[in-house]
Every structure is written in structure tokens, then in C-alpha cells.
Structure 1
Amino acid sequence: MNPYAPLFQPGKIGSVRIENRIVMPAMASQLAEPDGRLSQRLIDYYRVRAEGGVGLIITSYASVSADAPLMFNMGISDDSWVDDWRRLIEALHACGTRVGIQLMHVGMLYLFAGFVPKGATMKIPSPVPWVKGDIPTHVLTGEDIERYIEDFAQGARRAREAGADLVEIHACHGSLAGMFMSPLLNRRTDEYGGSVENRARFPRRIIERIRETLGADFPIIVRINASDDLEMGTTPPEAAEQARLLAAAGADAVSVSRGIEFWATTTIPSYLYPDGPMLPLVDEIKKAVPVPVIAAGKLTPELAADAVRTGRTDFVALGRPLLADPDLPRKLREGRAGGIRRCIYCMNCLNQDRRAGRGSCSVNPFLNRESFYPLPPISRPKRVMVVGGGLAGMQTALLLAQRGHLVSLFEREGRLGGQWNIAAAIPEKSGYSAFTDYLERELGRMGVEIHLGTPVSKETVIAQKPDAVVLATGAVPAGLDVPGADGPNVVQAVDVIMGKARPEGRTVIIGGRFTAIETAILLAERGVPVSLITRGSLGMTLERVTLRTLIGKLLNLRVPLYLNTAVLAIDPRHLVIRFNEEVFELPAETVVLAVGMNPNVGLAGELDGLGLEIYTVGDCTRPRNAAAAAFQAAQIAAKI
């Protein structure tokens, strides 16, 4: 029996039958035009996931109010939006999926939006000192509340006219409805504040007004926080009572989330969290309501299937897993779980410039570039030699083989993976190995010749007689240009992570990015007295939620941090450092370098003059992250 069969039983939300239990939840794709109008990129983004077999797609962040637009997100604040929504919904219905539109008023989420329209004001239930920024605030009057309730009702009407199967009310994370629900953000003293019942009154009245407008047969989902995960915020017992009140008001399903955007690190759980961290909260909501529940939050296919099978939830929202592999539902249904390109929860999809639709994925080079997927087959196969079996080389080799080329992959070490193996050696990142395992399986399935333990020289290339060569020779750890940096007490962070170097005594790590931070945590957890020095700020290139989680770990471990500090020299027993204009010594028996990588470009020069097509990919071009390497691999595979 297929272990994922529970996910493929039909379900119902209100009057609507849904063919399976897998939901693509609302996520901020930001692929619409700057004014929010429908773009082909947005259609393609949803279409490939509909084709992959997802049961229900809920589109994101449709602003119901003209005074609270979200740039690069479709709105639904007047009737002019209906035609755009109809075009999108018809495209998705043609693939057999159900479609819901998430209705939202942005509330305090303007604080974290990439772009805020000129002249916008942030609408809030009540003034609280921790909700402030550069955007002027406006505390809602009773008249404002009535107007926004009607805006939601009219947004639902437009959604139905456009052909949507249902709507979802965004009432979590700091949206306007979510702010009303939270005692941290709602300090009103009228009928909309104070008690749990009063704080739920705004979303309750939205649901009731939609029912008055559209009748009983049009399904309404409400998405709520099962916990704000912040002091003075909504607690799980309060959330369960709110869910009960909203179901009694007419909600046909409750979608469970958690956390206030930006402040809490739990809303979108990263690799630092265990799988399924929201399920215990879902259990409490499930007990409180007589309607279906939708669970979310770092659910693996195995955990999702078990949660449905055991009745912990009725539907599962698989957001990032569907970004990583749009075909995930079909592969599970067909018993091809090993062929799934699994999300590794690295958070890179949150770390890019999503404002103009340039978000990217470490494992899926086609995220937000769906019109290029899949790459077309070639009519004249070439013999292509890929040199380097790290992530970039493996991705390139696989994409070339999928197009029909005859591909051989050469790796000097005894295993594939390259720098990715170093990342996967961090205990919290052990799940990263799932991606290299997937690539290795797919390379074998596609018939790629793999040569391990095989250094490549100019003579090796000549002997292979390739038509094209792709160099994916990676990068090597950078040194530090200061006196003493080549001393015996200086080691590289990658060697520490892989267990090749074991720091002893007082240890100082030099660097401020991922590798430096994670190495500091690794050593501190082992009991090594460790400090961290960086020339600038800490983690400037890191996604903000993960960065805050990591900084929290550093602080809890009491790791001294020296920011905006220059290293002038390294001696056997100390470092000479400068902060502002003051120079002083910092004791250190071991110094760990995590100051970046330098491209390994030696072979490229040797191959000049051979008359071959030669390409470089990944870190040997320029050290960057996995998502950049994945997209570059796709670009090169498309050229050959």
C-alpha cells in the first residue's frame, strides 16, 4: 500500500469537494506587476503547481481595501480586479485544482513589506509602542471598522464572481484581523478589545458579513495564530477559544499558523526547528472546532500523511515543499517519493529580492522562472564533460542529461557533494544531505557516467574527447592577509566543521557570515571557550529570521561578539585587533578563519586553445550561495 495514500483521499471544505488533502498555502510570491495586476509569471508560478496535482491552491495577500495596497501582489478592492482573477482561476481550474483567494488587510505588515506605496498609513486597532516605524499610523475608529468589514465582504463577492471556490481570511501574523486577535497588539477598551471574545469580534463580523452577502454555500477558511509565540501575545488556550468562536460564526475551516511576523521566528520554521513544530498546536485547535483543520509548518510528506491518517488534521499545507518541487503531489501519488526534490528549509526563498519576483531556491533553479521549466529536449546530443561533483556540477550534469546530452561527471574526491557536504556536517543541517542524495539518484537514473576519485588535467580532457566541458571546480577557503595568518595555531572553519581540526584552549573565529556563526555555535556547544570577530555587522547576507535565531543561540551560549573590529596580526597566544582607533590584544590559543572562499580556476587556463566549448559554473565562477549556483546551472544547461 502507498504510505502516502491518506493524502489522496478526497476531502470537503464547506460545500466544496477537494480531490486530495494537499494545500498550497498563501505565500508572498510578489510576481504580479508593480501595480498588482496579473502577470504571466504569476500564472506560470501557480500553474506548474496545479499541474503537479495539488488539491487546493490559496493565492496570497489580496488586499481588500483601496487604502492598503500591496505592491507586486494582486488586490481585490474594486470590481476592476475581477477579470484578472478570472484569468488566473480559469488557468488553474483547467489543471483540475481548486482555488481559493486569501483576503487580507495589511495592518502592521507594512513594516516588513519590500515596497510601501507613497503616502500609505498603517491601520492599527490601538496605539502600542512596539508597533512603530517610518510609516504613519492610524488608529481605527468605529466607522473605519465597519468600512473594512464591508471591504472583506465585497472582496469575497468579487472572488466568487471571478470563479474562486472559496476565500481565506488572513487573521494572523500581524495583518489587521490578526492584530485585533492579539492582546499584544490590541489594547482597545471597547467591544473590539479586552476579552478573547471581544478580540475575535472583528474577524467574526467579517465572516458573518460575508455570509450575509453570499449565503451559506460559499466556503470561508480563516487562518489564525495558534500562538503568537511572544510575551503578552495570544496563548494556545486563547487561540482554541478564538477558533471555536470563528467556526460558530460561519467559518468552514481553520488554517493554523503561529507567530507575529518578524518578531517571532516560528512563523516559517527553518532547518533549526524539528519537523512539524506546529502540530501540537494544531491538536488543540482540532479539539476545539467541528470544522476541518489545515496544518502547516515544516511538514515532511511522511509526517503530513501520518497527521492525516491519525486524524490530527484534515488537510496539510505544504508551502515550501511545493516551491522546491511542484510535482510533489503527483510523485507521492505514483509512489515515487525518492524522486522528490525535497525542501531543505534553508530559508533562501525568503532571503532574495522578492519585491520584483526574484526569489530563488537552493534546490529548484526554476522557482519564479517557471516559464523556462522544463528545459526543452535537444535534437543533436553532445558529449559533455562536467568537472567537479559539488552542487553546481551535479545540478548541471543532471539538467544536461535531462535534455538528452551524453554526460560524464568527474570528481576528485571519493564522494559527490563538494562544499555541500560541509554544510550537511553541521548537526542542525543534516537534512541538507537529502538534496545531494536526490541528485545522485537522479544522475544514476539518467545514465550519467560518474567518475569518483578522479582528478582531471588537460590530458584527461583530451582523452575524453568531449564536445563541451563544464568546469565546476569549486572554491578554496580564503586566507587572511595579516602577519601570523599562516601560523600553526590558525585553522580553517571548514576543517573544524569536518573534524579535521580540533581547536583547543581559547578560540577566536574571524568572520561574520553563516560559516563563522555556525562554527562558533558548534564549538560553544562543545564547551570550547570561543569568541567571534567580524569587520562589519553580523550575518549581513543572511535571511533575517534565521539570523535572529542564530544570534539568539550565540547570546544564550554567551559567545563574546566583536563587531566592526579589524584583525591586525595573529600571534601564537593572542590577536592584535582594532576597534575604532583603539588597538588591543585578545587572548587566543587557536584562530579559526571563516573569511570567505576564493574561486578554484586553475584548470580553466589549461584548456585554452583546445577549441572546446568551455563553461564555468558555481563557486569557480564566483563564490555565492546554492540558489545562485542552481540557477547558473540551468542557464548553462540551456545554452549547450
Structure 2
Amino acid sequence: MNVLFTPVRLGPLTLKNRLVMAPMGTCLDNGGYVTEDTVAYYRRRAEGGVGAITVEGCLVSGDTVGPEPRISGPEFVPGLRRIVEELEPFDVAVGVQLMHPGRQVVEGPSVAPSPVPLNSAAPVPHELTVGEIERIVEDYARAARFAREAGFTYLEVHGAHGYLPSNFLSPQHNHRTDAYGGTLENRARFSVEIARAIGAACDLPLVWRLNGTDAEPGGFDPESAVAVAGMIERAGAASISVSSGTWLTLQQTLAPMSVPRGHMLDLVRAVKKEVSVPVMAVGRLDDPDLAEAVVEQGDADMVLLGRGLIAEPDWPLLVRDARRDELRPCIACNACVDLVGRGERARCAVNPEVGRELTWAVEPAARLRRVMVVGSGPAGLEAARLARLRGHEVSVWERDPELGGKLTVAGLAPSKHEVLRFRDHQIARLAALGVELHTSAPVTARIVKEQGPDVLIVATGADPLVPPIPGIDGPTVHDAQRFLRGEVEVPPGTRLVVVGGSATGCETAELMRAGGAEVTVVEMRRGVGRGIEAITRRQMVRQLRHDGVELLVNATVVDIEPGLVRWRATDGAVHELPADLVALAIGWRPTGSSVLEDLEPGDIEVRVLGDADSPADFVRAINAGADAALAL
């Protein structure tokens, strides 16, 4: 039997399995109040068979306002109770995370153990007095009582990621000289007092989320984490959930696809050796074999699934029932994180149901039709999948030799191979559903007429933008996609200039540098990585510089000739770059379709989707495909 599906104790609770939904912000609340959208989102994850669900961080102090739900007053209890009541039929333990953002607050007063700002653009936080610290400790205790009143069966304190308890633990940011600063025991005092106050306020088992490291120079380190884990256990915690990173090192906390799975396991193992209570592990553990190994080898007692349950709510049931081929993979693109970080509702690049669970319904079509999808990028593949699930007869037509469109191009860079997992999953699901798949099959009006579909979905994507730069049509200049596909020979030592520092430009630079080329990226904007989620962009830019890629920003290419690229700086000065080859990654324009131009008016319903309509990101593309299929 898979050890993931054996019971485990959490204080007095017995969880039916060892899979716990990690607390993640959704921005589905309304002014701090739980909405029916919030309830439906959690119900969908409960339906998927997870053993426990930790509801996203709720603010414990009344003067703290943000995009998070709140648990700072009795007025917020009824909404939270709705979540618990709605999840009751699913034999799932439901907990809630209590949080105080401290200096990482979105709105309201910024407070911290010391007046050290988050970054150069952030306000200097107010240094908490001892009296204010004591009031915040009571805020946690009061929130715990509200949680019990709402019906939650366990609590979690967010003591990681640079939020207030974590900020106190950091010697880099806590410069106090009183009882809450200096020694590790003093810096941990705030956390210990919170744990004890919660234990005195209610009898719910307490999970403490702790950084195994801040991953910052001079910050909270693994050795200190092990010691603090023991202090927290002695203060009454029933479990330690080990994470890492802060807002300054988010590539640790919310690892992009370039970070290996299980990157926090060494931290988890160290804490596990110190404490006797169950330990929870997190960090891209949504690979079933890895998750099973974590528990089987004794690295942790429970596995947290976060983004993996956003992408695939049925992950537990599919793994339990040996239906792994149906698992929709999370590609760690962090689109969900990026949206929530901007205060927008959670969505997903691979699962269009996310954020609209309340109204989502894939029902049999009232009238079955023949649907012809032209183009196999994210929009086309998702339109085909959902249309077939609804009972329509579906075919997909792709002009290139392989399916995938921009999914294929995006997945060719070394750090982006996870994208290909999703592409391959979609193609496999379409084949299993009986969708006709045609490759190397450009579509004309004649072919459409011969096929005789009732509905034509045009999802042909976008073509590269080629501006009128002198020499841009020269023999050494190629579209960046040709480099990614390996269609241009680039021997080691080749001097390659990538014009455009967007996602495609950065991915091209990464792949070509890995092959030994000398690469320079020229971008007219003030930064590279346009179109890349913030955490992924930060990680990619750091890696490009580490690997020796030169990044020129505020630089406009004015002329290209064999062996040379000229660019203009903001001061008007023109500079020259030696260039054996030039890759163009300037942007995209909707692909023109002769199908639409030549198609005669008739009974065929036509829908134009995704980049074929307007160049967009994967989230909008896959949602456009879903909307089209659900409307048929």
C-alpha cells in the first residue's frame, strides 16, 4: 500500500492520509470576508481526497489590512464557518493559518522587531514596543478562539517567510537589545509566547510553519531552525511544517520550475531529527514517487501539496487509484503566485477551473457538433479537450510537424522543460479521449470545406514581429524560435546577439549560452524578462548573469550588418557589438489566417482564440480555449 494513504496523527486528530493542502493566498475574499467563491475553491480540493486542508493565512490583528481573509473579529467567523461546514462531508481535517505580515503588510501599518525596511522602496517599519508585542500575542490567542468557534479542527501559525514571527527570528533584521533580541532564545521568545498563548486559549492542535533557513546572508540559518523547532515543540506545537525563504528569496519559498523538486528536504530532515512531533515537508513535492519516498524514507510524516493542488485538485484520488497518467502536471510557472501577488484572483496556467469553481461545469452538450480546431497551442489544445469531454466530435490541425505551438517553443530552454510535461499531458489526454490529431497539416478554406465542421476554432497563435530595422533581413539574422528548435547551427564561441529581452529572448540566451556561445541580449526597455513571472524572472536573470550572458538594457538596435549590430543608448550615443549571428525576439503579432480570408459565408460557426486573436500569456490562452469549448 502507498504509504501516503496511511493514517497519521496530528495531536488528537487522525488524518485519513498524509497529504495536506498547503495554505496559499487566493484573493477570492471580499474585504477580508470569505465569499462563496472561496468556499467553492476549498470544496473542490476537499473533493479530490486530500487528508487535511489548511485555509490560507488569515490576518489576526484588526489594524492589518490586505488581500488576505481576516480572523481578527467575530464578524469574520460566519464566513470561515461556511468553509468548515461545506467541507464536512469529505472526511477532511480543516485548519486555518493565523498570520501577521509585519513589515510585509500590503496595507495598514508596517511593524517589525526593528526599524529595518523590507527593501529600499519600502517604508521604514515601526519598531514594536514590548506592550505592542504583548497585544499582538493576545491577537493570536483571540484569533485561535475565533477559529475554534468557526469549527476548525487545527490551527497553523505562519512563522516563516519573513512574516512577523519569522522577522523576529532573523539576526539580520532583528537588532533589538531587550528580551526579544540578541540571543536565539530571545529572538524566538515572540514565537514561543504565541504558541503558549494559543495553547492556553483553546485545545486545537497547533502546527507551526517554520523557516528551515531564510536563505539570506546573515539571516536565520538551518542550525538555528533546528533549535527553534525544539523550542516550539516544547511550547505546545503538535507539528512543525518546514519551509524556507522570505520575500527577498522567494525562489526558495515558491520555487520556479528551474529549481529542483524537493529542494528543502535537507532542512526537513534536520528538523525531523530534533523533534518528536510529526513534521510536514513542502517544496515541489507533487511528483507522486518523490512524495511517497519522502514519507517512506522517514524524511517527513506528511507532505504538503500547494500549487500541485491548484493545477490538479484530484491529485490524491488519482494517485491512490493508480491513475497517474491523468494527473494534470503543475509546471511551477508561478502564474497563480504572480496574480495573487498583484492582488488579482488566483488563476492557473494549466487549469482553467481555478478561481471559478462556483460556476464551473463541464456538462454534456445539448447538441453534439463537429468541431475543427486549427492550431495546437495552449488555447487550441484546451478547447479541444473540453469540447471532446462535452461529447463533441473534435479534430485538431497543426501546420508544424509536432503539436504544442508556443508550449513547445517555451519548453525548449533548459530551465523551462516543465512546460513540455504539460504539452505532452494534453496531447496524451486528447488521444485517450479520441480526438483526431493532424500534424504537418496547414489548413486552407478548401480543407475546411472538405471536413465540413459545424464549428471552426482558429487558435493559430502568433508570428514573430519583425520591425523595419536596416539589415534585419540579412543572412546572419534569424527568428529566435529557430535557435530554440535547433534549426540554426551555433558552434561554441559564436558571438550571438539576441535582439529583445522578453521571455523568448531570455530563453534563447539561456539555451545558446549553455551550448557555448558568447551571448549578449539587447533590450530597449529598462529591464529584461518581460512576460516572465516575477520570481521566475529574478531567478532567470540571476542565472544568465552568473553564466556570463551580457544584458544591455535601455538599448535600441538601429542597424544590423554581417558581423555587427549597432545600438543606441538613451543618451543618443551609438555603440557597436560584434555579432556572428543575430536572434530576433522582439515580440509577436497575431498570425494571419488565409482560412478566414477565403472562407465563404455559410453555416460554420467561427471562433478565434488566444494569440490568434491577441498575443497573450498562457493563463489567458488556456482560459480562452476553455471558454470557447464550454460555450459550444
TM-score range, shorter chain: over 0.9
Cα deviation, 1:122-141, whole Å, max 9, x if unaligned, reads 11001236556454521111
Shift in CA distance, 392/131, structure 1 to aligned 2, threshold 3 Å:
closer
Counterparts of 1:62-73 in structure 2 under 5 Å?
62-71=58-67, 73=68
Identity of matched residues, %: 38
Residue 180 (structure 2) pairs with residue 192 (structure 1):
yes
Q: Secondary structure at 1:491's aligned position in 2? A: strand
Residue among 218, 228, 233 paired with 2:219: 233
Q: CA deviation at 1:315?
A: 0.7
Residue among 356, 375, 382 paired with 2:369: 382
- Within 1, Cα distance between the matches of 2:441 and 2:122? 57
- Within 1, Cα distance between the matches of 2:447 and 2:119? 63
Aligned amino acid, residue 21 of structure 2? M
Does the 8 Å contact 1:255/1:293 carry over to 2?
yes
Residue 441 (structure 2) pairs with residue 454 (structure 1):
yes
- Within 1, Cα distance between the matches of 2:626 and 2:155? 36
Shift in CA distance, 355/474, structure 1 to aligned 2, threshold 3 Å:
closer
Cα deviation, 1:191-245, whole Å, max 9, x if unaligned, reads 111122111111111111111222xx42000001000101001111110111011
Residue 82 of structure 2 aligns with which residue? Answer: 87
Cα deviation, 1:11-55, whole Å, max 9, x if unaligned, reads 11111111111111111111100x211111111111110111111
Q: CA deviation at 1:96?
A: 2.4
- Within 2, Cα distance between the matches of 1:412 and 1:134? 50
Q: CA deviation at 1:521?
A: 2.1
Counterparts of 1:240-389 in structure 2 under 5 Å?
240-299=226-285, 300-352=287-339, 355-389=342-376
- Within 2, Cα distance between the matches of 1:275 and 1:47? 27
Residue 12 of structure 2 aligns with which residue? Answer: 15
- Within 2, Cα distance between the matches of 1:509 and 1:131? 32
Aligned amino acid, residue 60 of structure 1? E
Residue 622 (structure 2) pairs with residue 622 (structure 1):
no
Shift in CA distance, 490/519, structure 1 to aligned 2, threshold 3 Å:
same
- Within 1, Cα distance between the matches of 2:104 and 2:115? 15
Q: CA deviation at 1:414?
A: 3.1
Aligned amino acid, residue 592 of structure 1? A
Q: Give the aligned length.
A: 626
Residue 213 of structure 1 aligns with which residue? Answer: 201
- Within 1, Cα distance between the matches of 2:378 and 2:82? 38
Cα deviation, 1:579-608, whole Å, max 9, x if unaligned, reads 122123222221110112222222222224
Cα deviation, 1:282-320, whole Å, max 9, x if unaligned, reads 100100110000100111222111111111111111100
Residue 585 of structure 1 aligns with which residue? Answer: 576
Q: Secondary structure at 2:90's aligned position in 1? A: coil
Residue 586 of structure 2 aligns with which residue? Answer: 595
Residue 32 of structure 1 aligns with which residue? Answer: 29
Does the 8 Å contact 1:29/1:354 carry over to 2?
no
Aligned amino acid, residue 77 of structure 1? S
Does the 8 Å contact 1:103/1:155 carry over to 2?
yes
Q: CA deviation at 1:633?
A: 0.5
- Within 1, Cα distance between the matches of 2:261 and 2:182? 35
Residue among 505, 509, 530 paired with 1:516: 505
Residue among 107, 114, 125 paired with 1:126: 114
Residue 57 of structure 2 aligns with which residue? Answer: 61
Does the 8 Å contact 1:389/1:417 carry over to 2?
yes
Residue among 141, 147, 153 paired with 1:153: 141
Q: CA deviation at 1:356?
A: 5.0
Residue 171 of structure 1 aligns with which residue? Answer: 159
Q: CA deviation at 1:325?
A: 0.8
- Within 2, Cα distance between the matches of 1:459 and 1:103? 62
Aligned amino acid, residue 474 of structure 2? G
Aligned amino acid, residue 520 of structure 1? A
Does the 8 Å contact 2:222/2:267 carry over to 1?
yes
Does the 8 Å contact 1:7/1:308 carry over to 2?
yes
Q: Secondary structure at 2:557's aligned position in 1? A: strand
Aligned amino acid, residue 597 of structure 1? W
Q: CA deviation at 1:636?
A: 0.5
- Within 2, Cα distance between the matches of 1:305 and 1:148? 39
- Within 2, Cα distance between the matches of 1:514 and 1:614? 31
Q: CA deviation at 1:626?
A: 1.5
- Within 2, Cα distance between the matches of 1:601 and 1:54? 46
Residue 602 of structure 2 aligns with which residue? Answer: 610
Does the 8 Å contact 1:156/1:167 carry over to 2?
yes
Q: Secondary structure at 1:150's aligned position in 2? A: helix
Q: Secondary structure at 1:577's aligned position in 2? A: strand
Residue 189 (structure 2) pairs with residue 201 (structure 1):
yes
- Within 1, Cα distance between the matches of 2:511 and 2:45? 38
Residue 630 (structure 2) pairs with residue 638 (structure 1):
yes
TM-score by structure 2 length?
A: 0.96
Shift in CA distance, 263/278, structure 1 to aligned 2, threshold 3 Å:
closer
Farther-moved stretch of structure 1 (244-253 vs 255-264): 255-264
Residue 557 (structure 2) pairs with residue 570 (structure 1):
no
- Stretches of structure 2 lacking an aligned partner (at least 5 in a row): none
Cα deviation, 1:61-117, whole Å, max 9, x if unaligned, reads 21111111223x21111122211111121112233221111001111212xx4xx2x
User: Alignment RMSD, CA only?
Assistant: 1.6
Residue 552 (structure 2) pairs with residue 557 (structure 1):
no
Residue 455 of structure 2 aligns with which residue? Answer: 468
Shift in CA distance, 96/129, structure 1 to aligned 2, threshold 3 Å:
closer
Does the 8 Å contact 1:30/1:354 carry over to 2?
no
Q: CA deviation at 1:168?
A: 0.3
Residue 77 of structure 1 aligns with which residue? Answer: 72
- Within 2, Cα distance between the matches of 1:415 and 1:372? 34
Does the 8 Å contact 1:574/1:589 carry over to 2?
yes
Does the 8 Å contact 2:114/2:125 carry over to 1?
no
Residue 501 of structure 1 aligns with which residue? Answer: 488
Aligned amino acid, residue 557 of structure 1? D
- Within 1, Cα distance between the matches of 2:117 and 2:441? 62
Does the 8 Å contact 2:378/2:625 carry over to 1?
no
- Within 2, Cα distance between the matches of 1:251 and 1:523? 50
Residue 521 (structure 2) pairs with residue 532 (structure 1):
yes
- Within 2, Cα distance between the matches of 1:133 and 1:511? 28
Aligned amino acid, residue 344 of structure 1? I
